Structure 1
Amino acid sequence: MSRGFIRILERLGHEVRVVCRLRSYDRAGDQLHQLRLAHTAAGLANRLSVRLARDWLPDVWFTYHCYHKAPDLLGPTVSERLGVPYVVAEPSFARRRREGNWAVGHAGSIRALSRADLLLPMTKVDLRGMHAAGSRIKGVVRRLPPFIDTLPFRQANARRFAHRNEVAQAFGLDPGAVWLLTVAMMRDDDAKRNSYLQLADALSRLTAWPWQLLVVGDGPAAPKIRAAFAQFEPERVRFAGALPEDRLPPIYAASDMFVWPALNEAYGVVFLEAQAAGLPVVAGRGTGV
């Protein structure tokens, strides 16, 4: 999604620069770590403000995704000192995180959201969150639904049958079977790992149906995920590993159905990619999905 924002801004004629690679994400909920990040960010914001004012004054500071686990610790300070508008896409507000393990990160995210000139929530859930934040939010709020460039997927769909033969040869699939596809990282967290485990459980109830599953993705949880699918005959499941972005449209178009539980997932760009390729989708009903 962040790459998509960069592409669309560039197509609109903007020069986009990633000016800092500070990673404020705290998965574990370690308040000491959050405080250290805030301290580090304060120094970086000072240096960035001076450097940008001297070398390259931007027209706008644009931040993608700001919430309690990953607050924007730079944008509010830098944009204020440079006197440029501050925009946050995919902002999120969770009142229940005011206390507990992410209280420091929550406070940082509220500071950022309260100073933003424009907030672009991407789901109805986050739009309601902006409204729930009430008087803290002073900027303009406009919902911007998730988007992709559909052209590569539409072009692939037009060559579906040629791609089906190519994919069959590449991954050892039976052209006469029903091909199920899932595309997802194999992170070792509740969202990705447990979605894979739920998918394996669901497919275990459908063994009378002649399906084959092609899995595109890799990551730290791969051994656990592969073990969950070891219950099936070897020809049932094919693991393609991680693939470059440009190889995905033909695989989507060649398949028969996209399947993914999407537990705790904000919305899932993969669903947009599958639909753009003309692929029916079976998904978990939750959040923005």
Structure 2
Amino acid sequence: MTTPLRDTPRLSVALVSEHASPLAVLGGVDAGGQNVHVARLAGALADRGHRVTVYTRRDAADLPDETVLRPGVRVRHVPAGPPRHVPKDSLLPYMTAFGDHLAAEWRVRAPDLVHSHFWMSGLAALRATRELGLPLAHTYHALGTVKRRHQGDADTSPRTRVTSEAEVGEGCARVIATCRDEVTELGRMGIGDGKVSVVPCGVDTARFTPDGPVADHSAHHPLLLQLGRLVPRKGAEVSVAALARLPEARLIIAGGPPADLIDADPEVRRLRELARAAGVADRVSFIGGVPCEDVPPLLRAADVVLCPADYEPFGIVPLEAMACGTPVVATAVGGQLDTVADPDCGRLVPPRDPAALAHAVGELLMDGELRAACGAAGRRRVLARYGWDQVAAGTEVVYRGVLSPRPAVTEVA
């Protein structure tokens, strides 16, 4: 645990995360890295003595108004829209009600600072903080400009997303980016780096560790693992195509619905057809969503973890793999440019290039000593930079700067 800054007042912090509840079960289309980020950041800030309240949308009728997540962290369920699951890209019409509810609560008891997560949370928080004169920091987690560039007509985001993101960036006191690539993207939107601080996402270094149980698998063949949401941009089809160039290896693709529902998943069906066409269907396993407690053993079992996304705003899986001492081959995009140090911790390859992915993986599979060295270096890098205590300390520095303005610091962690 990081020691809080001495002789500084503890803060009351409101984290706004409209669709990504820290209480959510992970693995769904709209439940992933942001949920983990908000939950872990809240806990780490509480460890530093701050009082944290997370505001998220009520998405089930039986949810209580408030839940204690852990000592120092409360979760408030905001009535905005129907009390059921609504796809993330359909939530925009409810953000006015969300913001009005925040303002009503904060008129009674205002936080010292508000930190919104994702662009729609930013709109709701901006509505409330403008009315009440409260300081606002914002983390995008993903940018509409990047999504639109890569997905084109397949982008289901509301048409106003990009202009709304610019409004949030201009209206907040500080933008907290998670990687240097995001700073460049923000600059293209007109949000200069003088208004941006970089604080990365983190990983639980006590849970993700090289020591501990290892998932059972055949030791006769090298094991490759891809872990994450089953959406096309994560690049699983590139991993399947690369496997055809790695005849001794097996590939596990973990993510998506539970194992008993995996056969009905459209993306799994598409990937299985690609595997059959590539002649590798017998070497690819789809195991569905993995319970949180089973993720570290699975990462430890892999010889190499693959992260071949078309784009990745940050990417938490490389950190989890590195924390477990497993080398990573990732695409040279987004946050992976910061986290995966090539050649020390693994390899970076161009996106949508199965040959490059296979070459980098093959190099690691042929040399056990090289894999071990990369794994050890990855663990050291995570411990030095990406523990949640370090992330919370960096975030606290940004908060103090918002509350007591001083010359901008572009990168604090």
- CA shift, 1:93, in A, is 7.4
Question: Match of 1:211, as an amino acid?
Answer: A
Q: In structure 2, do the counterparts of structure 1 residues 202 and 256 end up closer, same or farther at CA, with 3 Å as the change threshold? A: same
Instruction: Give the aligned length.
Output: 255
Question: Match of 1:118, as an amino acid?
Answer: R
1:214 maps onto 2:261 in alignment: no
CA contact (8 A) 2:95 2:121 kept: no
Out of 126, 137, 146, the position equivalent to 2:201 is 146
Mind listing any 5+ residue stretches in structure 2 that lack a counterpart? 1-36, 58-79, 81-85, 258-264, 337-413
CA contact (8 A) 2:243 2:249 kept: no
Other-structure match for 1:29: none
CA distance in 2, matches of 1:176, 1:258: 18
* 3-state SS, counterpart of residue 42 of structure 1: helix
Out of 312, 323, 328, the position equivalent to 1:276 is 323
* 3-state SS, counterpart of residue 18 of structure 1: strand
Other-structure match for 1:83: 133
Superposed CA RMSD: 3.0
Q: Deviations over 1:53-75 (max 9, x none)?
A: 22x42222111233xxx572211
CA distance in 2, matches of 1:95, 1:255: 31
Question: Match of 2:220, as an amino acid?
Answer: G
- CA shift, 1:114, in A, is 0.8
CA contact (8 A) 2:313 2:335 kept: yes
Other-structure match for 1:179: 223
Mind listing any 5+ residue stretches in structure 1 that lack a counterpart? 27-32
CA contact (8 A) 1:252 1:279 kept: yes
Q: Deviations over 1:167-220 (max 9, x none)?
A: 22xxxx212321111101113xx413xx1111111111222xx22222211144
Other-structure match for 1:260: 307
Identity, % of aligned pairs?
Answer: 22
Q: In structure 2, do the counterparts of structure 1 residues 127 and 233 end up closer, same or farther at CA, with 3 Å as the change threshold? A: closer
CA distance in 1, matches of 2:147, 2:242: 32
CA contact (8 A) 2:139 2:177 kept: yes
* 1:47-196 equivalence runs, <5 A: 47-54=101-108, 56-66=109-119, 70=120, 72-90=122-140, 92=143, 94=145, 104-134=160-190, 140-154=195-209, 157-159=210-212, 163-164=213-214, 167-168=215-216, 173-187=217-231, 190-192=232-234, 195-196=235-236
CA contact (8 A) 1:114 1:137 kept: no
- CA shift, 1:233, in A, is 5.2
Question: Match of 2:123, as an amino acid?
Answer: L
1:2 maps onto 2:38 in alignment: yes
Question: Match of 2:138, as an amino acid?
Answer: V
Out of 295, 314, 317, the position equivalent to 1:248 is 295
* 3-state SS, counterpart of residue 285 of structure 2: strand
Other-structure match for 1:11: 47
CA distance in 1, matches of 2:56, 2:274: 39
Q: In structure 2, do the counterparts of structure 1 residues 268 and 20 end up closer, same or farther at CA, with 3 Å as the change threshold? A: closer
Question: Match of 1:59, as an amino acid?
Answer: D
Calculate the TM-score normalised by the size of structure 1: 0.76
Q: Deviations over 1:101-153 (max 9, x none)?
A: 8552222222211111121111212112333444x669842111232122212
CA distance in 1, matches of 2:51, 2:87: 24
Q: In structure 2, do the counterparts of structure 1 residues 213 and 191 end up closer, same or farther at CA, with 3 Å as the change threshold? A: same
Calculate the TM-score normalised by the size of structure 2: 0.55
